[in-house]
Amino acid sequence: MIGADCLWIMLIVTVHLVDVSLSDCKFPVHNTDRDLQKRIQPLVGKTFSGKDASEKYKYFFGVCTEALAKSMITGGETYGLLQKSVETNKFYRLGKYTNTTIISGNDWLILEYLDGEPYHSHCGSEPRRGRVMLNCDSSVSLGTEELIVLEEENNKTHDCFYLFEMKTSVVCPKTLNISLSLSVGTILIIVFLCVMSLYLILGCAYMRFVLHAKGKEQCPNYEFWQDFGNLQADGCDLVCRSKKPPGSRSYKGIGDDQLEGDDERDDHLLPM
């Protein structure tokens, strides 16, 4: 009973965790498009990091999860995109993973994290937001992706944003790659089988529906195929014969020398 109760509790906890991860991974603009969520499903729950060119800031990115654990940043709940100052160790919350829009292409995706921490003096004190471009790269295996900082657009009065790029094989289009290397002999066999199939199908149809043949007579060229085995046997016997031909038999009869005689003996047999 104890083992069954433990198993039941583990099952409830597992189901709860799955529901939380799926329910928190919301895209309000595309809340009905399940295909977009399936495309990034391998990245769900994973976190990534990167630095800018000056290495003054470090960035943390989480797909449908917190960019950093709660123990590492106070008040960082539901934030999937964070900026950290290397000098002051201060965090700036760029966007929530619970309020994310997603835009898709054939071999790319863009996740835009909204509801970030407001700017202090510029960009109209609007909330920060960040855009992460997921570009297809089949050479990057899952779990080895790196977050690259492209730019921070904050020299405007509104619509400021942070732009990132991450190459991954997850967003690559799923194609069926089948390499077939057929030899010449295989191609000839396939062509021969196709021709024979058409010959039998069309020939039987013609014999049955046009000539109204019945039974075995429906087979095209039935008489030829009936004797085909005998013809093969005769040809093989002619080419591969190993038996010696029978010698000519000698007959002991009357020779020509015995037939030659005196012509005068036959004179009385001639008519007079």
- For residues 147 and 165, give the distance between their C-alpha atoms in angstroms, rounded to a whole number: 6
Long-range CB pairs of 230-235, under 8 A, 24+ apart, other chains included: none
> Domains in the chain, ordered, with CATH?
24-168 (2.70.130.10), 184-238 (no CATH)
Q: Which residue did the predictor score with more confidence, 61 or 235?
A: 61
Among 83, 115, 88, CA closest to 99: 115
Phi-psi label, residue 40: left if phi above 0, alpha if psi -120 to 50, beta otherwise: alpha
Q: List, in order, residues 6 or more apart from 36 with CB less than 8 Å away.
A: 27, 30, 102, 104, 109
- Give residue-wise pLDDT tens across range 242-252: 656 555 555 55
C-alpha triplet 94, 100, 101: angle, nearest 5°: 125
- Which ranges in the chain belong to alpha helices (H)? 2-24, 34-39, 184-209, 222-239, 256-259
Residue 50: burial class (beta carbons within 10 Å; 0-12, 13-18, 19+): middle
Predicted confidence at residue 249, as pLDDT, reads 57
Q: List, in order, residues 6 or more apart from 109 with CB less than 8 Å away.
A: 36, 39, 40, 102, 103, 133, 134, 171
Predicted confidence at residue 17, as pLDDT, reads 34
Predicted confidence at residue 268, as pLDDT, reads 57
- Give residue-wise pLDDT tens across range 95-127: 998 888 888 888 898 999 998 999 888 888 899
- Rounded alpha-carbon distances, angstroms, from residue 17 to 10, 23, 68, 192, 238: 11, 10, 18, 59, 82
- Give residue-wise pLDDT tens across range 194-220: 999 998 899 888 888 888 888 878 888
- Token couple for 251: 């007959």
Among 3, 132, 126, CA closest to 64: 132
- For residues 215 and 161, give the distance between their C-alpha atoms in angstroms, rounded to a whole number: 82
Q: Tell me whether strands 47-51 and 57-62 are parallel, antiparallel or unpaired.
A: antiparallel
Q: pTM of the predicted model, to two decimals?
A: 0.54
- Give residue-wise pLDDT tens across range 84-95: 999 998 999 999
SS3 (DSSP) at 266: helix
Residue 53: pLDDT band (50, 70, 90) is: confident
Residue 222: burial class (beta carbons within 10 Å; 0-12, 13-18, 19+): middle
Provide Rg for the chain, Cα atoms: 46
C-alpha triplet 184, 202, 211: angle, nearest 5°: 150
